[in-house]
């Protein structure tokens, strides 16, 4: 077994391939008196076997936390090392080189802060203890993204110590950089060859001509942490005057020159939101984007939403960094909170940019797949604990971390194979025209990006059921997601006719088929069972057999009506089916035949559709009738888990792209009677429920028997949002 000593991180670039590194989101930041710990949120704090899952990806190194606030919150004399002992030891056994982080967007234990003059010495003492305990460690990031942390903690007030002025920002940055230098000095007393992998987010600022002076300041300021560590901040440097204006004394700056510590590898972290655009035309932007610098008022928005030419992007930022420092580079975070295909497109684009620059002579060592386990509440910059989860290489919403499609891409990259998913043919949303939320403005500082037009993939997604609510929703959301598709009517492909199905699959060569067609009239099925069975079961089986023959993935849908309602807890995928009506029987048979014919098929059971784009679902009809003051009757004793169609489509597509198969239950988290659903939606919409009449199901005159309880749960993964969220978004979309 290779050891961490054998990592090519220490090897100068020659003909070695671009490496794949990885990282666990491990922020431990402080807001007021509360600490937000990502390792507790993502469960890695208690799951040692995560490391074996990571090793299966083929990664060379991992950015890994030995966080000061976690190990020694009450002083080094009370440090608890067992967690780091166990994890670092296992990584060593697996042959994965840890790049150890000591502070990750944090400010240290409670007895210190980023503006504490003793912070650098205190962190250096902890760093020395780490090095002495693990003398075999070779790579360190004592403080992650010091400039970003200083801005969020000292300039914007998001994190402790919640400064909102230039002096607190500058003081925090100098303290962090001194802490990095002293920490590496202490570490190198134990291991003279220890390497500093210094990370930073180098987002670029663009602006209108009037605000070019502010953009130039911010574009120079983004290099501050690296320039400080490289000993470049002297009286002739453009930022010397800026730091003096912030309130830093000349003596402090001169003294800092003794704490220089050039990185051995510069780690670039880049996010789509990191590039900003400044515009004095406030009327074009919402009020929450408005701000200023004391001289001019302006909106500060994401450049991707306004720059006509697109972003500077990862290649440009890497090139600028290489030309400025001529030091080895790595991309140390690649993550995107988005749909699965966009996550794949972003990783692919960053990898290609790094490879291209490397081929041109830049010493680019690696690309780091970040947030292996996803992350929590970064949509609020980790200032609150709201439970907002972004999945990563693994999805934590299953009983154990579930591999997503990103895992396959990582293994491909790690083994030198070029990712070839058809969805990579379309540029990411950040290149497409629909990204623009505001009037397009030329960003003179950015370089042209790939064309905004989306090429049509040679292998589309085939959607069967062009006239139905579900088929229409798939087409609509594929359009939004940049997924090339072909929407098929019955006259285009009759799934009950094997010859028709095979002909279309041979001609289209889709990468997957979504079967959104079906017989859905539950009561009518009792009168014409043969028709229902032919469409729902026989047709689905024929389609599955053809997909298996053509090696095409299949997604098809089943129903909560496969259950009899005898339970009082949510049904999971392994529960016994016992349908009460013909429609439910047709779905049970369909599940069996589809999975027999094509075991790789993804069969999703769902329940009680409602959506914003059709006028004939229960929720929409209830609102319309109640708003008009008309009587509306609904069952008071049938408990269901309603499903918001956009959530269903998005989650189904993600699972399909991930290569999932077998039975999955997807419904919004809830257990509610039909009448209470109408009441809840009306209340949220501000509509009176005085004309709502709740009745027992047996009084509604329904022909087909229904289960009294058909709530769907899952033992495979709770992927859908709560019903309250779904209804709020439904009402926003309808309005």
- How is 39-93 classified by DSSP, letter by letter? HHHSSGGG-TTHHHHHHTTT-SEEEEE--HHHH-TT-GGG---HHHHHHHHHHHH
pLDDT one-digit tens code per residue, 232-271: 999 999 999 999 999 999 999 999 999 999 999 999 999 9
Residues with catalytic roles: 583
| Among candidate residues 406, 407, 374, the one with its CA nearest the CA of residue 389 | 374
The whole-angstrom separation of Cα 350 and Cα 348 is 6
* Per-residue pLDDT at 458: 77
Task: Look up residue 384 and give its two tokens.
Answer: 């609150």
With 0-12 / 13-18 / 19 or more C-beta atoms within 10 angstroms meaning exposed / middle / buried, residue 718 is middle
| Residues 280-287, mean pLDDT to the nearest whole number | 97
- Residue 217: Cβ within 10 Å count: 15
| DSSP string computed for 318-341 | HHHHHHHH---EEEEEE---S-HH
- What band does 156 get if pLDDT is binned at 50, 70 and 90? very high
Q: Is the pLDDT of residue 289 over 50?
A: yes
pLDDT (tens digit per residue) in 51-89: 999 999 999 999 999 999 999 999 999 999 999 999 999
User: Are 400 and 407 in contact, with CB atoms under 8 Å apart?
Assistant: no
Task: Kindly indicate the confidence band of residue 27, based on its pLDDT and cuts at 50, 70 and 90.
Answer: very high
Average pLDDT over all residues of the chain: 94
Helix (H) or strand (E) holding 140: strand 139-144
Running DSSP on this structure, what letter comes out for residue 466?
T
Under 8 Å between Cβ of 211 and 278? yes
Per-residue pLDDT at 457:
56
pLDDT at residue 40 is higher than 70: yes
Residue keyed to tokens 């693990």: 134
Instruction: Give the mean model confidence (pLDDT) for residues 602-607.
Output: 97
Domains of the chain in sequence order: 20-435 (3.20.20.80), 461-734 (3.40.50.720)
Calculate the alpha carbon distances from 530 to 527, 564, 639 in Å: 9, 22, 29
């Amino acid at each position: 077994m290779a050891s961490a000593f054998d990592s090519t991180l220490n090897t100068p670039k020659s003909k070695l391939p671009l490496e794949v590194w990885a990282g666990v989101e491990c922020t431990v930041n402080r807001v007021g008196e509360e600490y937000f710990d990502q390792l507790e949120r993502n469960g890695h704090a208690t799951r040692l076997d995560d490391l074996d899952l990571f090793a299966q990806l083929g990664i060379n190194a991992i950015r890994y936390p030995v966080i000061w606030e976690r190990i020694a919150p009450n002083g080094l004399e009370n440090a608890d090392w067992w967690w780091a002992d166990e994890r670092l030891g296992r990584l060593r056994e697996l042959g994965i080189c840890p790049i150890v982080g000591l502070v990750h967007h944090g400010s240290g234990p409670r007895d210190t802060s980023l503006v504490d003059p003793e912070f650098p010495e205190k962190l250096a003492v902890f760093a020395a203890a780490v090095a002495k305990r693990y003398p075999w460690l070779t790579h360190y990031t004592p403080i992650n993204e010091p400039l970003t942390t200083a801005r969020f903690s000292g300039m914007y007030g998001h994190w402790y110590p919640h400064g909102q002025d230039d002096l607190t920002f500058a003081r925090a940055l100098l303290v962090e950089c001194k802490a990095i230098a002293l920490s590496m000095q202490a570490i190198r007393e134990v291991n003279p060859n220890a390497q500093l992998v210094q990370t930073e987010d180098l987002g670029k600022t663009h602006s209108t001509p009037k605000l070019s002076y502010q953009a130039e300041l911010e574009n120079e300021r983004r290099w501050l942490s690296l320039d400080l560590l490289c000993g470049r901040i002297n009286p002739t440097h453009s930022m010397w005057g800026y730091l003096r204006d912030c309130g830093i004394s000349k003596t402090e700056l001169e003294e800092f020159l003794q704490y220089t510590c050039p990185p051995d590898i510069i780690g670039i972290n880049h996010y789509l939101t990191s590039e900003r655009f400044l515009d004095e035309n406030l009327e074009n932007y919402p009020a929450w984007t408005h701000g200023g610098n004391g001289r001019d008022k302006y909106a500060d928005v994401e450049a991707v939403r306004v720059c006509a030419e697109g972003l500077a992007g990862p290649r440009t930022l890497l090139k600028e960094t290489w030309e400025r420092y001529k030091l080895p580079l790595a991309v140390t975070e690649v993550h995107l909170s988005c749909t699965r295909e966009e996550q794949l497109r972003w990783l692919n684009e960053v990898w290609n940019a790094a490879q291209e620059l490397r081929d041109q002579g830049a010493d680019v060592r690696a690309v780091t797949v970040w947030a292996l386990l996803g992350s929590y509440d970064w949509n609020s910059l980790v200032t609150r604990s709201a439970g907002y989860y972004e999945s990563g290489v693994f999805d934590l919403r299953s009983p154990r971390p579930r591999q997503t499609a990103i895992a396959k891409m990582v293994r491909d990259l790690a083994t030198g194979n070029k990712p070839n998913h058809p969805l990579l043919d379309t540029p990411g949303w950040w290149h497409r025209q629909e990204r623009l939320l505001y009037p397009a403005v030329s960003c003179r500082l950015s370089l042209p990006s790939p064309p905004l037009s989306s090429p049509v993939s040679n292998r589309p997604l085939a959607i069967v059921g062009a006239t139905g609510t579900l088929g229409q929703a798939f087409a609509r959301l594929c359009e939004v997601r940049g997924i090339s598709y072909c929407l098929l009517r019955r006259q285009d492909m009759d799934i009950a006719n094997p010859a028709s199905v095979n002909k279309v699959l041979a001609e289209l060569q889709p990468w997957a088929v979504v079967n959104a067609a079906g017989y859905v009239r539950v009561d009518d099925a009792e009168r014409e069972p043969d028709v229902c069975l032919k469409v729902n079961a026989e047709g689905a089986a024929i389609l599955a057999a053809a997909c298996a023959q053509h090696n095409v993935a299949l997604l098809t849908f089943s129903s909560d009506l496969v259950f009899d309602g005898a339970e009082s807890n949510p049904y999971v995928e392994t529960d016994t089916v016992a349908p009460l009506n013909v429609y439910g029987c047709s779905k049970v048979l369909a599940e069996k035949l589809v999975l027999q014919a094509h075991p790789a098929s993804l069969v999703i059971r769902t329940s009680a559709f409602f959506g914003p784009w059709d006028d004939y679902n229960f929720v929409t009809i209830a609102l319309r009738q109640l708003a008009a003051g008309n009587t509306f009757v609904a069952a008071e004793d049938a408990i269901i888990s309603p499903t918001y169609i956009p959530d269903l489509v998005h989650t189904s597509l993600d699972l399909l792209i991930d290569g999932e198969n077998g039975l999955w239950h997807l419904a919004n988290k809830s257990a509610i009677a039909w009448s209470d659903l109408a009441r809840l939606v009306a209340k949220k919409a501000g509509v009176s429920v005085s004309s709502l009449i709740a009745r027992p199901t047996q009084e509604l005159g329904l022909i087909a028997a229904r289960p009294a309880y058909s709530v769907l749960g899952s033992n495979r993964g709770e992927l859908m949002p709560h019903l309250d969220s779904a209804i709020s978004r439904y009402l926003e979309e309808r309005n």
